[in-house]
């Protein structure tokens, strides 16, 4: 049986990169290799750890993964990489590191979105390892009894995210774990596409279905009467950008949202407001940051740098290769209030070694 080299990418950032990267001529090093680079911006010097992955190789795969295999779970990056047999891994989207550990970005695994967001830029990988970047804004709509008219349709705010708001409507799938974690509202338990039961507050999540939790506010609670035992239930996702234009994401199998985008046409285009970022820990402060990008000849780049602002990160990535560009995004420091999900201590993992500034040790 052919053994793949797995690149477990909990993607924390997306960057721009160009051609001209030198790499070894022969052997497995042509598939995955790394180097340390130094970038000087004015009087500041930045040491960047970079891992390269040849996506053209039939021996490589890229996937996203969850700490402890659940949304909101925690795990060391090195442990996660080892568990998945990954040669290289990079940490992922923002999360609530000082409270409930819930992630804040889009997360898609094997074609299924297990968490949704309306901020930042999302990077996605198709089944043929095509890499896409977009300011992805998902929407969730549902039907009952195979009917989408106003008497049978419904919607949700997100997936696998507990929101303490009486107007919230949230879907919980097995990726969340065994329970929804919701203390209030009405929970509709769906098994094999049909309503099995309706309970108050927290509910067990069936392995063959999902739970819809409707808040107690009138805007959410009014939908609960549409769900009785035996009612067929479906939901689907659609994708737009912040301006409302449709984004084609149908072929993407794995994706992670972070942001903001760094480069376009070789120029820095960091736009915190457009991508929905207001926290100074993201917009102005320095910290450990990681990034991901793709070259024109289909080489994936994973990078980690210490003590940089997001605008500095954009200049660093531009300086690393000035011949061309590829669109991308950068993430905030891992130990901030909006850090990376699953709480990894290091930003970048390669062949058993971790690189990057230490996060909060839990």
Give the C-alpha separation, 202 to 213, whole Å.
9
Domain that holds residue 76: 5-136+243-355
Which pair of structure tokens corresponds to residue 343?
């709480």
Asked whether residue 79 falls in the same domain as residue 191, the answer is: no
Asked whether residue 335 falls in the same domain as residue 274, the answer is: yes
**pLDDT of the chain along its 362 residues, tens only?**
444 455 545 432 233 333 334 444 444 557 888 888 898 999 999 999 988 889 999 888 999 999 899 999 888 888 888 888 888 888 888 778 778 889 989 999 999 999 999 999 999 999 999 999 899 999 999 999 999 999 999 999 999 999 999 999 999 999 999 999 999 999 999 999 999 999 999 999 999 999 999 999 999 999 999 999 999 999 999 999 999 999 999 999 999 998 788 877 678 889 999 999 999 989 999 998 888 877 778 888 888 898 999 999 988 877 765 432 233 333 322 222 233 322 223 478 887 666 553 322 11
Give the C-alpha separation, 222 to 209, whole Å.
23
Boundary (domain end) residue, out of 185, 216, 237: 237
> Is 186 inside any structural domain?
yes
Asked whether residue 35 falls in the same domain as residue 115, the answer is: yes
> Is 361 inside any structural domain?
no
Asked whether residue 200 falls in the same domain as residue 314, the answer is: no
Model pLDDT for residues 130-174, shown as the tens digit of each residue: 999 899 999 999 999 999 999 999 999 999 999 999 999 999 999
Pairing of strands 252-257, 107-109: antiparallel
Asked whether residue 319 falls in the same domain as residue 268, the answer is: yes
For 130, list phi and psi in degrees, rounded to 5.
-70, 140
> Is 360 inside any structural domain?
no
Asked whether residue 29 falls in the same domain as residue 123, the answer is: yes
Asked whether residue 181 falls in the same domain as residue 285, the answer is: no
Asked whether residue 232 falls in the same domain as residue 338, the answer is: no
Of 93, 101, 125, give the one whose Cα is nearest residue 176: 101
Asked whether residue 247 falls in the same domain as residue 110, the answer is: yes
Asked whether residue 163 falls in the same domain as residue 302, the answer is: no
Asked whether residue 120 falls in the same domain as residue 154, the answer is: no
Asked whether residue 271 falls in the same domain as residue 213, the answer is: no
Pairing of strands 60-63, 5-9: parallel
Which pair of structure tokens corresponds to residue 100?
């409930």
Boundary (domain end) residue, out of 179, 208, 237: 237
Boundary (domain end) residue, out of 179, 206, 237: 237
> Is 362 inside any structural domain?
no
List residues bridging with 109 in a β-sheet: 112
Which class for 317: exposed (0-12), middle (13-18), buried (19 or more C-beta within 10 A)? Answer: buried
Counting the structural domains of the chain, the total is 2
pTM of the prediction?
0.85
CATH number for the domain including 143? 2.60.120
């Amino acid at each position: 049986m052919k053994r793949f080299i797995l690149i477990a990418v909990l993607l924390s950032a997306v960057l721009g990169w160009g051609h001209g990267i030198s790499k070894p001529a022969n052997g497995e090093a042509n598939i995955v290799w790394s180097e340390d680079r130094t970038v000087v911006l004015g009087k500041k010097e930045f040491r960047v750890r970079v891992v390269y992955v040849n996506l053209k190789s039939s021996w490589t795969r890229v996937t996203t993964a969850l700490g402890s295999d659940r949304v909101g779970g925690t795990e060391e990056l090195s442990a996660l990489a080892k568990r998945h047999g990954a040669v290289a891994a990079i940490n992922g989207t923002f999360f609530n590191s000082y409270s409930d550990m819930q992630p804040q970005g889009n997360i898609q695994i094997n074609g299924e979105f297990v968490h949704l967001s309306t901020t930042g830029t999302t990077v996605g990988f198709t089944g043929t390892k095509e890499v896409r970047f977009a300011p992805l804004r998902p929407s969730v709509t549902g039907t009952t009894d195979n009917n989408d008219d106003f008497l049978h349709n419904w919607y949700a705010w997100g997936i696998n995210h507990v929101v303490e708001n009486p107007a919230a409507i949230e879907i919980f799938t097995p990726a969340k774990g065994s329970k929804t974690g919701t203390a209030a509202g009405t929970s509709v338990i769906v098994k094999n596409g049909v309503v099995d039961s309706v309970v108050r507050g927290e509910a067990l999540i069936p392995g063959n279905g999902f739970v819809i939790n409707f808040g107690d506010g009138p805007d959410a609670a009014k939908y609960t009467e549409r769900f009785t035992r035996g009612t067929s239930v479906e939901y689907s996702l659609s994708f737009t950008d912040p301006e409302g234009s449709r984004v084609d994401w149908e072929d993407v199998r794995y994706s992670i949202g972070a942001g903001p985008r760094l480069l376009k046409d070789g120029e820095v285009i960091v736009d915190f407001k457009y991508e929905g970022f207001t926290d100074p820990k993201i917009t102005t402060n320095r910290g450990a940051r990681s990034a991901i990008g793709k070259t024109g000849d289909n080489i994936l780049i994973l990078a980690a740098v210490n003590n940089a602002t997001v605008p500095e990160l954009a200049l660093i990535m531009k300086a690393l290769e000035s011949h061309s560009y590829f669109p991308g995004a950068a993430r905030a420091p891992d130990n901030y209030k909006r850090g990376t999900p699953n709480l990894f201590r290091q930003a970048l993992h390669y062949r058993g070694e971790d690189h990057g500034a230490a996060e909060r040790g839990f």
